[in-house]
Amino acid sequence: MLRGFFILLSKVPWAQRVITRWGVARRAARRFVAGDTIADALQAALALNQAGMQVSLDPLGENTTHAEGAEAAAQEILTLLDSLHAHELRANVSIKLSQLGLALDENLCRQLLGKILARAGERGVFIRIDMEDASLTERTLEMFHWARQQSEGVGVVIQAYLYRSEADLMRLREVQGKVRLCKGAYREGADVAFPQKSAVNRNYDHLVKVLLESARAAGTPLLSADGRTPPLAAVATHDPARIAFAEAEMARQGLPKGSVEFQMLYGIRRDLQETLVRQGHAVRVYVPYGTHWYPYFMRRLAERPENVRFFLSNLFRK
Ligand SMILES: Cc1cc2nc3c(=O)[nH]c(=O)nc-3n(C[C@H](O)[C@H](O)[C@H](O)COP(=O)(O)OP(=O)(O)OC[C@H]3O[C@@H](n4cnc5c(N)ncnc54)[C@H](O)[C@@H]3O)c2cc1C
């Protein structure tokens, strides 16, 4: 219930206006968001690189409601790509197509994505297309398949809570699409997604197996030497049981360390991130930055009741 409430809240404009004005909310969000500016993000990326981890930078933004907003988001991403080139960090970039206007005007979105892919190609930076709520799944995958024809330096995300995901993975296998597998962060109906967590976990393990088979079939490409291009398979979770399953599956399929990337979010389970690095695994941390932190923060609260309690106790202490 709590999860549903916070995900609903993430979409309510008046709640966004009220909550983003609270200094205490901004400070709480900083646990999950590196800061407001590209400079903040680059600083966080450098520290993570020094700790042996790769990074994916996320210029926060989603559900843009007008063309100017989509163009401004694209411009921010282009500037980030230029900055990454200048700093030689082991980092790539994650984007959301709704920030480029996918729900508004598909042609505009395609045109902006094309510009981003061209610049990313020049700068040698891989682009990951995040997955959003189920109303955008089909359009996001269609756009990814178009993007994959333009560039090899692009990957997408598959959510284990959706019934359709195995079929989507099989289609991605045909184009050797680079995939980040996550559980899924939105609130979906039982008509499209497994309602129970145990079923999502079971499907996650099943999809890990399918994804790792794709990696083996593709000749197990490793993480690139500059740390920017991930291997074909990325296992994105903080769930120790899912990670243990993926490790066992790597061993069973004879996949070496570095042929599967473990990905986690900035501010969550740093201890686990460090353990995996010590064990010799490739680890990438997803680092969001920017002023549009509200929906992202609400989704992080939704995932864990302890986060809400912590946030509320701070709120009422002030
Ligand atoms: C790198 C990365 C990229 C992602 N990209 C997408 C995407 O494109 N689309 C999408 O829908 N979702 C995305 N997600 C979010 C994902 O779908 C889940 O919502 C999120 O990862 C929580 O699920 P979990 O796999 O960690 O498992 P859970 O079972 O939810 O959590 C396992 C454990 O992780 C810790 N944990 C999890 N969440 C939190 C939190 N918010 N605060 C504190 N501790 C926490 C807790 O210790 C918890 O017990 C991404 C996640 C990662 C790691």
Average of per-residue pLDDT values in the chain: 94
* pLDDT confidence of residue 316: 65
The first and second tokens of residue 80, run together, are: 């980030």
Q: CA geometry: angle at 25 spanning 9 and 55, to 5°?
A: 90
- 230 bridge partner residues: none
| Separation between Cα atoms, residue 195 and residue 189, nearest integer Å | 7
Which ligand 1 atom minimizes the distance to the CA of 56? 1
Per-residue model confidence as pLDDT tens digits over 170-215: 999 999 999 999 999 999 999 999 999 999 999 999 999 999 999 9
Residue 296 in contact with ligand 1 by CB distance below 6 A: no
The first and second tokens of residue 1, run together, are: 């219930």
* pLDDT confidence of residue 189: 96
| Separation between Cα atoms, residue 289 and residue 291, nearest integer Å | 7
Give yes or no for residue 318 having a pLDDT over 60. no
Domain residue spans of the chain: 1-32+293-318, 37-292
For residue 231, give the nearest of 208, 276, 261 by alpha carbon. 261
Over residues 255-281, the mean pLDDT reads 97
CA of 118 from ligand 1 middle (Å) equals 30
| Separation between Cα atoms, residue 162 and residue 192, nearest integer Å | 6
For residue 263, give the nearest of 109, 94, 41, 13 by alpha carbon. 94
* pLDDT confidence of residue 3: 80
Q: CA geometry: angle at 304 spanning 303 and 310, to 5°?
A: 135
Residue 272 in contact with ligand 1 by CB distance below 6 A: no
Over residues 280-297, the mean pLDDT reads 96
Nearest-CA residue for ligand 1 atom 9 is: 131
Was 318 annotated as part of a binding site? no
Nearest-CA residue for ligand 1 atom 44 is: 268
Give yes or no for residue 285 having a pLDDT over 60. yes
Was 4 annotated as part of a binding site? no
What is the rounded (10 degree) CA torsion for 40, 45, 47, 48? 140
Counting ligand 1 atoms within 8 A of each CB, the residue from 3, 183, 201 with the most, and so the one to mutate, is 183
- Which residues are part of the catalytic machinery? 130, 180
Counting ligand 1 atoms within 8 A of each CB, the residue from 304, 307, 309 with the most, and so the one to mutate, is 304
CA of 108 from ligand 1 middle (Å) equals 30
Considering only the C-alpha atoms of the chain, give the largest distance between any 2 of them, rounded to a whole number of Å.
Answer: 56
Residue type, 199: A
| Separation between Cα atoms, residue 288 and residue 301, nearest integer Å | 15
Over residues 45-55, the mean pLDDT reads 98
CA of 2 from ligand 1 middle (Å) equals 16
Which ligand 1 atom minimizes the distance to the CA of 186? 11
Q: Which CATH class is domain 37-292?
A: alpha beta
* pLDDT confidence of residue 308: 80
Residue 76 in contact with ligand 1 by CB distance below 6 A: no
Q: How far is CA 22 from CA 17, 232, 315, in A?
A: 9, 41, 9
* pLDDT confidence of residue 123: 96
Was 257 annotated as part of a binding site? no
Over residues 154-158, the mean pLDDT reads 98
The first and second tokens of residue 12, run together, are: 């309510």
pLDDT band of residue 317 (cuts 50, 70, 90) is: low
pLDDT band of residue 272 (cuts 50, 70, 90) is: very high
Counting ligand 1 atoms within 8 A of each CB, the residue from 239, 266, 287 with the most, and so the one to mutate, is 239
SS3 category, 110: helix
